[in-house]
Structure 1
Amino acid sequence: MTALIDLPEAQPAGQPPLRKKQSGGGLGKYLLIRFTLIIPTIFILVTMVFFLMRLTGDPITAALGDRLPPDQLALRIHEAGYDRPIFVQYLEYLGQIATGNFGRTISDNLLISDMLATYGSATLELAINSLIVALAIGIPLGMLAAYKRDRWQDATLRVLAISFYAAPVFFAGLILKLIFSIWLGWFPVAGRANTGTEVAMASLSAPTGIYWLDALRSGNTAAFWDIAQHSVLPAVALGLLTAGIFLRLVRTNVIGTLSKDYVEAGRSRGVSEYRLLTKHAYKPALIPIITVMGLQIALLLGGAVLTETTFEWKGLGFQLAHYLTARDFVAVQGIVALLAVIVAFTNFIVDVIAALIDPRVRY
C-alpha cells in the first residue's frame, strides 16, 4: 500500500518560497492594543470619579458651606462655574484634564498640578521601596515553602502569608513603630527624612523628588543613610501586604514547575532537588509574578493612604486624607485621577515586560 505524503505546493520558478501563515499577532500588534486600551481605561476611571464627587453637591458648598455667608457662597459657586449643568462641567473637566490642568484646591487655593508634582514623588518612592521589600520577602519564602512542601516549614509560611495579607496596614505600621522606634529606638518614628536632609534635597538642581535617588546622585552619603532609616518601617509595613501574595503565588507556581517533564527528567538523572529548584523551576515560576505586579502597584497605592497617614509620610495618600477631612473634593478628584493614570500606565509597562519575557503572552 502506498503511503500518503503531504508534498509542498509547486511554485513558479524564480519566486520566493511560500511561508506558512503564523497564528496570532506579533509583539508590535500586542503592545499597540495594550497601549490603546489605556485611553478608555483612564476615561472610565476619571468619569466615575467626577460623578461620584458630584453626588455630594457642588464642591464649594461641600468645603466652605459652613464658613461663608450665603451671598459669598453663591458668588464663589458662580465664579467656579458649579451652577452650570452637570454635563457642561463634565465636558469642561475633560478638556482641563487633557491639557494637564486639574484646577485649584478649594481649601488652600493651591494649583492641583503643583501639589501632585510635589507629593506624587513621595508616594512613588514609598511604592518602589515597598515593592522591593515585597519581592525580597515573598520570592525567597515562596521558594522555601515549595522546597519544604507539606512540611511544618511550608505550613508555617502559608499561615504567615495569610497574616501578612490580612493584617491592616495601619495596624502593622503601629506595631512596627512601637517595637522598632519606641522600644528599641532603631528607626525614626515618622517622616521621610530629618529637616536638614529635606532642605538639602530641595536645594538640589533638577531634583527627582525621590529622596534616596537624589541623595545618590549628589553623593550625599549622610543624607542617604538618614533617608534609608526613615524609609524602612513604612516600606516594611506596606510591603508585607504584597509579600504575602507573592509568597503564595511563587509557592504554587514552583510546585507546579517541579512536576514538569523536564524537571522529572533531571531528577531521574540524579540532579539534586536544590539545584532543580534554583536552576530549573525558579525562572518559569517568576513569570506570573510579573503579570500580576501591575495589580499589586494599585494595591500599594491604595495602601499608601493608610501608611502615609500612620508614618506622617507626606505623599499623595497623606494629602488625600487631609483633603477628605477638609471636604475638598476638587483636590480629591485630582489626586484620584492621577493615581488612575499611574495605575493604567504601570499595567501597560508590566504587560510589555511580560510579553518580552514570555512570548506566549503576545498571542
Structure 2
Amino acid sequence: MADDRTVGGTKARVPGSGLGRYVLVRFLLIIPTVFILVTLVFFVMRVVGDPITASVGGRLTPAQLQERLHAAGYDRPLLVQYAEYLGQVFTGDFGRSVTDNRAITEILVEYGTATLELVLFALVVAFVVGVPLGMLAAYLRDRWPDAVLRIFAILCYATPVFFAGLLLKLVFAVWLGWLPLSGRASPEVQLVLDQIAGSSGINILDALRTGRWDLISDVLAHAALPALALGLLTAGVFLRLVRTNLIGTLGREYVDAARSRGVAESRLVRKHAYKPALIPIVTVMGLQIAMMLGGAVLTETTFEWRGLGFQLTQYLGARDFVAVQGIVALLAVVVAVTNFVVDVIAALIDPRVRY
C-alpha cells in the first residue's frame, strides 16, 4: 500500500499511513521477540537437566524415575522436546508444574492479579513522586534543591529493591509501627475479599466494591511499603527524565516567546513545557514495566506478597523448572505485548516516533 502521493511534482505523505505501518511492524516484532525469549528460557532450564529429576528425582526409585521421564517425554532428543514445547506454547499450553501438577496458565491467573496490583500501585508511586519532583528540579535548576533531588534520584534507582524493602520495613513497621510487615491484607480482611462473588483477585478493586472503608484502608496499608519499595526504583528514572527534558523544552523558541511576554516561570513549567517533557516517559514505560516485573520477584519475597514473583521463588526452591519455565515464558509474553501497547501510545502522542 503506497503512502505517498505526488503533489505539484513533490511527494506528500498521506496522513495516518505512517501510523498504520508503524503499528503493523511493531505488532509483527512481537512474534520473533517472544520466540527468542521462549527459546532462551527453554534451553537455559535444560542446562540443569530434566525437570522431573531436578524436582522429585531424590524421592523416586530408578525405575519410577525412568517411568516418569518416559511418560513426560524427557527421554526423547532435546530438539524433539523443543519442537513439541513450541507447539504447545503457540496453542496457549505452557505445561503443568511437577510439584503440584497445576496448569501454568491457572497459576498465572491465580497469582498474576496480585502482581498486577503491586505493579499498578508502584506505577502510581513512580508518577506521584518522580514527575512533580522532576518538574521542581527543572524549575530550580543548578540550585541546591536541584542537587539534592538529583542525588535522591540516583539513590532511588541505584538501591537494590530488596534492601529498600527491608529498610522500609525496619523504619515504618518495626520502629514506628505505622504499617504492617507483610501480606496483601489482614487474614480476616483477605477472607472477606475472597468470599466476594465474582472476586477479581485484585484486593483494592474488591475492597472498593464493598464500600467498606475498613477493608479499603487495610488493603492500602498493606500495599504502601511494597509499592514504595518498587515504585521508588522507577520514580528516580522518571525524575531524571522529566528534569532533563523539561530543561530542554524550556529553552525552545515558543517558550522564550512566552517568557518575553511576561509569563511567569512557574506557569511556563506547568503549562507550556510540561506535556512535551512527558513524552520520553511514555516511550520508556515498557522498559520500566519490564524492570518492575523483575523487581516484583524480590519485592514480593521481601513482603510475602503472594504474587507471581513470590510463587516463582517457591518453585525455584522446589527445583520445579517446568513451572519456572512456564511462568518466565508467560512474563516474557506480557512484557512483549506491553512494549507494543506503549509503542503505539507513544506514536499517537508524538508523530515523530512513527517515521
Give the TM-score normalised by structure 2.
0.94
Distance 2:330 2:214 in 1: 33
| Deviation sequence 1:17-71 (CA, Å, 0-9, x none) | x995317942222211111111111111111100110111111111122222211
Matches within 5 A, 1:159-308: 159-308=151-300
1:331 aligns with 2:323: yes
1:359 aligns with 2:315: no
1:146 aligns with 2:121: no
1:63 aligns with 2:55: yes
Could you tell me which amino acid in structure 2 is paired with residue 245 of structure 1? V
| Deviation sequence 1:178-219 (CA, Å, 0-9, x none) | 111111111111000112222222222332211111222343
Tell me how far 1:361 sits from its aligned partner.
1.4
- The corresponding residue for 2:33 is 41
| Deviation sequence 1:78-108 (CA, Å, 0-9, x none) | 1111001111111111121122222211122
Distance 2:155 2:137 in 1: 15
Secondary structure at 2:58's aligned position in 1?
coil
Between stretches 105-114 and 254-263, larger displacement belongs to: 105-114
Distance 2:61 2:217 in 1: 51
1:90 aligns with 2:73: no
1:110 aligns with 2:112: no
Could you tell me which amino acid in structure 2 is paired with residue 193 of structure 1? A
| Deviation sequence 1:243-279 (CA, Å, 0-9, x none) | 1111111100000001001111111121111111111
Could you tell me which amino acid in structure 2 is paired with residue 283 of structure 1? K
Could you tell me which amino acid in structure 2 is paired with residue 42 of structure 1? V
Could you tell me which amino acid in structure 2 is paired with residue 178 of structure 1? L
Secondary structure at 1:21's aligned position in 2?
strand
Identity %: 66
Distance 1:260 1:103 in 2: 55
Tell me how far 1:329 sits from its aligned partner.
0.5
- The corresponding residue for 2:4 is none
Distance 1:104 1:361 in 2: 41
Distance 1:341 1:208 in 2: 22
1:346 aligns with 2:338: yes
Give the TM-score normalised by structure 1.
0.92
Task: Identify unmatched segments of 5+ residues in structure 2.
Answer: 1-6
Distance 2:240 2:217 in 1: 33
- The corresponding residue for 1:13 is none
Task: Identify unmatched segments of 5+ residues in structure 1.
Answer: 1-7, 10-17
1:77 aligns with 2:65: no
- The corresponding residue for 1:4 is none
Could you tell me which amino acid in structure 2 is paired with residue 276 of structure 1? L
Distance 1:176 1:138 in 2: 18
Q: CA RMSD in A?
A: 1.6
- The corresponding residue for 2:3 is none
1:51 aligns with 2:43: yes
Distance 1:27 1:340 in 2: 25
Could you tell me which amino acid in structure 2 is paired with residue 21 of structure 1? A
Could you tell me which amino acid in structure 2 is paired with residue 112 of structure 1? I
Alignment partner of 1:312 out of 300, 304, 309: 304
Distance 1:291 1:208 in 2: 30
Larger Rg: 1
Distance 1:220 1:78 in 2: 54
| Deviation sequence 1:291-319 (CA, Å, 0-9, x none) | 00110000000000110000000001001
Between stretches 236-245 and 94-103, larger displacement belongs to: 94-103
- The corresponding residue for 2:120 is 128
